Amino acid sequence: MQFGQGFFSKVKIMQKVKWRKQVLTIEAGSKYDQNTILIPSGKRVFAAAIGSKPKDQIINLGFDENGSEVETEMDLDFWKKNDTGKFLDGFKPLEYTGGSTLTLKLTATTDLTENFQVQVVFGIIDNDTTC
C-alpha cells in the first residue's frame, strides 16, 4: 500500500501538555520574593509570566534548580507571552526537561512602593503522539 503526499499532510501531532503555575509577590518596602514549584518530567518545558510591573522599574525573574541556575534572571518583559502562532508558541522554551523542584526568584532593582504580583505558568509537553 502506498501513501500519497496528501496522507502525510493530514497526519497531526498531538501534544499532551501539563500545566503548572506559581504566584510570586514582592511586598511594598521590599525588592525580593521567591517560591518553589515541582515541575513534572517532560520532553520540553515552556514558561511565561504575567504581571503589571511598575513603570520604569526593572523586575527580574529567574529559575534555579538545587542552587544551579536554570534560567538567568532577566526583566519580566522578556517572560511575557506573545501572540505568535498557537497558544504554547508564545511561551519561552526552557533548556530544562523538568523532573525536579525549581526555585522561582523575583527581584526588583529598588524597594517597591506597593505590592507587586506575578503569575508564572509552565507548560510541560509530556509526549508527542501521532494520530
Cα angle vertex 102, ends 33, 88, to 5°?
A: 100
CA distance linking residue 41 with residue 31, whole number of Å: 32
In which band, very low, low, confident or very high, does the pLDDT at 129 lie, cut at 50, 70 and 90? low
Residue ranges of the domains in the chain?
21-130
What pLDDT sits at residue 126? 85
CA distance linking residue 110 with residue 55, whole number of Å: 13
Predicted confidence (pLDDT) per residue in 9-36, tens digit: 444 456 789 999 999 999 999 999 999 9
Among the listed ranges 6-10, 61-65, 110-114, which one has the minimum average pLDDT value?
A: 6-10
Predicted confidence (pLDDT) per residue in 51-60, tens digit: 877 778 899 9
Q: What is the 3-state secondary structure (H, E, C) of 54-117?
A: CCCCCEEEEEEECCEEEEEEEEHHHHCCCCCCCHHHHCEECCCCCCEEEEEEEEECCCCCCCEE
Q: Please name the CATH architecture into which domain 21-130 falls.
A: Sandwich (2.60)
What pLDDT sits at residue 96? 92
Predicted confidence (pLDDT) per residue in 60-107, tens digit: 999 999 999 999 999 998 888 777 766 666 788 998 999 999 999 999
What pLDDT sits at residue 130? 46
CA distance linking residue 95 with residue 126, whole number of Å: 15
Taking the whole predicted model, whether its pTM rises above 0.75 is answered as yes
What pLDDT sits at residue 119? 96
